[in-house]
């Protein structure tokens, strides 16, 4: 027989408890930064060599700063500080203690910016065109007179060829990533191009120009004599019917124009030395001038055509104006992007490791005008602002 007393309705305790636990975890981890948050932070730091995995300040592997728990080591800082002074023509080993410390502070801020950018760019890879890295590598190597000098530079910077290629590849990717992020900010409307042209057309005025070709005999080397006699003989041979272009290719000391049979293309007075332009612009179009001398040597010039000064039409300069307007926005767009990124990471400095220079007098200096200060001081916490593709952990 069914009881007349209604049975007690069971309350859904289990879902309620589960939900409360999940809510607590979310608040602890993401909003309140409670005990569980700190336990996980310490665990991550220990695994990644971050804030809690600190070697002795003087050790090359000691941490000078962390960016979202990613360490920047003293070895990284040493190399970056040397490179910073090298670009200014200063040998790090011979620099004063104060100059070395200043270089370390500047280099560290750059490393923090680089690491922040690296964390963002790794979230969304941008394709690097085939051959770009090899071209950049070849351009870098070409700055040195020979392989010996190139390898000496690498050794001085504590870098290998493999590491250099990797750095170039990463830099190329970062540049392309930045370009993809600021592309919208660089877009230029046709109305902007037209407005700029109307306001600045007179500034685009091109002076009188000529198109000419020349045969050049240098007099820079005092041991080379008889150049005047040679140029006058060449002048006579042209008047007698020989081709100017053939004689220019065979005799000119100008390596660039001789490959083009002496052709200099179009140029204005502003683009060439005065002692050259005064003589050339006086030669009528279609005529060969008499030999003349400048500070550099003897010249024999044939003027092909003259063009009067004029303001170019908009269609002629549209692409240049568009590029100029885009470039004028590029600096501010990049600064804004970097500012937005730098407002996000959690950066921690370790002053003793930063000051741990090989030279004791540098280590003894205080860091003034630098917001690192006490060991483990946090320079910046994450703000509420989010930007697209913010790194994990932000």
DSSP state of 67: E
Task: Identify the pLDDT of residue 179.
Answer: 85
Asked whether 214 and 252 are in contact (CB, 8 A), the reply is: yes
Q: Is 49 exposed, middle or buried (0-12, 13-18, 19+ CB in 10 A)?
A: middle
Q: What is the pLDDT of residue 338?
A: 79
pLDDT confidence tier of residue 68, bands split at 50, 70 and 90: confident
Beta carbons within 8 Å of 54's beta carbon, 6+ residues apart: 62, 63, 350, 353
pLDDT at 35 over 90: no
Answer whether 0.85 is exceeded by the pTM.
no
Q: Per residue in 349-392, pLDDT tens?
A: 888 888 877 544 444 444 443 443 334 443 433 222 223 333 33
CB 350 within 8 A of CB 52: no
What is the predicted pLDDT for the residue at 196?
A: 94
Quote the pLDDT of residue 2. Answer: 41
Q: Which two tokens stand for residue 137?
A: 């590598």
pLDDT score recorded for residue 346 = 84
Name the more confident of 31 and 235: 235
321 versus 61: the higher-pLDDT residue is 321
* Each residue's pLDDT tens digit, 219-254: 999 888 999 999 999 999 999 999 999 999 999 999
Q: Which of 78, 174, 82 is nearest to 126 (CA)?
A: 174
Cα torsion angle, 50, 51, 55, 59, sign:
positive
pLDDT tens for 173-202 read 888 888 888 888 888 999 999 999 999 988
The number of angstroms, rounded, from the C-alpha of 165 to the middle of its chain's C-alpha atoms is 16
Percent of the chain residues topping a pLDDT of 70? 75
Question: Cβ neighbours of residue 253 under 8 Å, at least 6 residues apart?
Answer: 216, 217, 218, 297
- Extract the tokens encoding 342: 């730098």
Domains of the chain listed by start with CATH number: 11-45 (no CATH), 49-183+332-380 (1.10.4030.10), 206-307 (3.10.50.40)
Higher pLDDT, 250 or 52: 250
Query: How would residue 58 be classed by pLDDT, with cut points 50, 70 and 90?
Result: low
70 has pLDDT over 50: yes
Mean pLDDT of the 285-301 span: 96
- Percent of the chain exceeding pLDDT 90 equals 40
pLDDT value of position 59:
66
338 compared with 165, residue with greater pLDDT: 165
Are 305 and 208 in contact by the 8 Å Cβ rule? The answer is no
95 pLDDT higher than 80? yes
Q: Cα separations (Å) of 82 from 55, 139, 157?
A: 22, 22, 7
Tokens at residue 46, please? 């220990």
Do residues 140 and 132 lie in contact, with contact meaning Cβ atoms separated by under 8 Å?
no
pLDDT at 293 over 80: yes
What is the side-by-side order of every strand in the sheet holding 63-67? Answer: 70-73, 63-67, 347-349, 377-380
User: CB under 8 Å, gap of 24 or more: what pairs does 365-371 form?
Assistant: 365/97, 365/98, 365/101, 367/101, 367/105, 370/105
Question: In Å, what is the CA distance from 208 to each residue of 204, 213, 267, 277, 290?
Answer: 13, 17, 9, 11, 21
3 state DSSP class of 280 = helix
Residue whose C-alpha is closest to residue 384's, from 394, 370, 369: 394
| pLDDT for position 305 | 95
| Residue 271 pLDDT > 50 | yes
Q: Among 35-39, 167-171, 241-245, whose mean pLDDT is lowest?
A: 35-39
Q: What is the pLDDT of residue 5?
A: 35
């Amino acid at each position: 027989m069914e009881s007349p007393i209604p049975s007690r309705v069971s309350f859904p305790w289990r879902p309620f408890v589960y939900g409360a636990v999940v809510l607590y975890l979310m608040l602890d981890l993401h909003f309140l930064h409670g005990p569980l948050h700190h336990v996980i932070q310490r665990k991550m730091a220990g695994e990644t060599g971050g804030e809690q995995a600190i070697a002795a300040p003087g050790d090359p592997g000691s941490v000078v700063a962390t960016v979202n728990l990613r360490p920047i080591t003293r070895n990284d800082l040493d190399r970056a500080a040397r490179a910073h002074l090298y670009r200014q023509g200063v040998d790090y080993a011979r620099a004063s203690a104060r100059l070395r410390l200043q270089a370390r502070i500047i280099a560290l801020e750059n490393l923090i910016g680089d690491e922040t950018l690296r964390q963002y760019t790794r979230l969304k890879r941008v394709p690097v065109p085939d051959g770009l890295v090899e071209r950049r590598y070849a351009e870098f190597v070409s700055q040195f007179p020979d392989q010996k000098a190139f390898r000496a530079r690498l050794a001085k910077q504590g870098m290998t060829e493999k590491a250099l290629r990797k750095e170039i590849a990463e830099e190329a990717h970062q540049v392309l990533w930045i370009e993809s992020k600021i592309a919208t900010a660089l877009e230029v409307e046709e109305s902007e191009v037209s407005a700029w042209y109307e306001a600045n057309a007179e500034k685009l005025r091109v002076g009188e120009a000529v198109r000419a070709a020349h045969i050049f005999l240098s007099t820079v080397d005092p041991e080379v004599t008889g150049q005047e006699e040679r140029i006058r003989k060449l002048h006579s041979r042209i008047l007698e019917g020989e081709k100017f272009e053939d004689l220019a290719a065979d005799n000119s000391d100008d390596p660039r124009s001789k490959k083009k049979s002496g052709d200099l293309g179009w140029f204005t007075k502003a683009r060439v030395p005065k002692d050259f332009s005064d003589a050339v612009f006086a030669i009528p179009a279609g005529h060969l001038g008499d030999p003349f001398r400048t500070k550099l040597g003897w010249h024999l010039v044939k003027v092909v055509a003259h063009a009067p000064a004029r303001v170019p039409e908009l269609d002629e300069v549209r692409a240049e104006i568009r590029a100029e307007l885009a470039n004028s926005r590029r600096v501010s767009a990049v600064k804004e992007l970097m500012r937005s990124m730098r407002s996000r990471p959690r950066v921690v400095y370790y002053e003793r490791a930063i000051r741990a220079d090989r030279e004791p007098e540098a280590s003894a200096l205080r860091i003034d005008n630098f917001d690192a200060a006490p060991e483990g001081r946090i320079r910046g916490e994450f703000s509420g602002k989010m930007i697209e593709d913010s790194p994990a952990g932000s």
